[in-house]
Chains A and B, each alone.
Chain A
Amino acid sequence: KAGVTQTPRYLIKTRGQQVTLSCSPISGHRSVSWYQQTPGQGLQFLFEYFSETQRNKGNFPGRFSGRQFSNSRSEMNVSTLELGDSALYLCASSLEQGGFDEQFFGPGTRLTVL
């Protein structure tokens, strides 16, 4: 089975712009989660989707949004980019048979905001 894929792998934007990141989960996985990783704050949960519904959202401003499509692919969008949004954005999917178990992570998208 192919792993979790994320596109693009690297992105450079300027302040004020917006960005859309994409995540394709492992085939058959219906839960997709997003995390932000920075040197200062570490790994922080952004949101989780299951069957096109957002089930949980982390403590991030409304500039961060996401969605999930019927094929379980997910996108996250960050509007009005700030310098502090520079980070590695990780997507994870899981099979979710009976619980929130092992997460399979993609390679991440490294976003640099100038």
Chain B
Amino acid sequence: SQQGEEDPQALSIQEGENATMNCSYKTSINNLQWYRQNSGRGLVHLILIRSNEREKHSGRLRVTLDTSKKSSSLLITASRAADTASYFCATDTGRRALTFGSGTRLQVQP
């Protein structure tokens, strides 16, 4: 079963704009991770935020975590056409398994 739901399911923006994706989950977590997937290929790890952290940055990525609301957001600033992909949040609840959200399909128009 999927722990997380992502919002929106699909997002289309112009190059240079910012893209924000949201993820909600149901149970307590150790950490939350974001992954990118290009066209049915393998997933690429983007960023990990632990349950005791509220915000984390990595290059053009900014992730926030609100454990009281059981939600996280991923912000990609100054989007590029190469950012076109599906983005998934995944939670680690201590079961030695990641539970993935349903994903957001991001299309960045050049």
A residues engaging B (CB < 8 A)?
4, 31, 33, 35, 37, 42-45, 48, 50, 55-56, 58-59, 88, 90, 92, 99-108, 110
Contacts and interface: CB of A to CB of B under 8 A. Distances in A.
A102 B45 contact: yes
Given A100-B92, A110-B40, A42 B100 contact: yes
Interface string B67-110: 00000000000000000000010101011111111110000000
A42 B103 contact: yes
Given A100-B92, A102-B48, A33 B43 contact: no
Given A101-B48, A105-B45, 14 more contacts: A42-B2, A43-B2, A44-B2, A45-B98, A59-B1, A100-B94, A101-B31, A103-B33, A103-B43, A104-B45, A105-B42, A105-B43, A107-B41, A108-B41
B42 A48 contact: no
Nearest to B43: A105
A92 B96 CA distance: 12
B97 A90 contact: no
22 contacts: A4-B42, A35-B98, A42-B102, A44-B2, A45-B99, A48-B97, A56-B97, A58-B97, A90-B42, A92-B43, A99-B30, A100-B30, A100-B96, A101-B48, A102-B33, A102-B45, A103-B33, A103-B45, A103-B98, A106-B42, A108-B41, A110-B40
B40 A88 contact: yes
A107 to B, nearest CB: 5
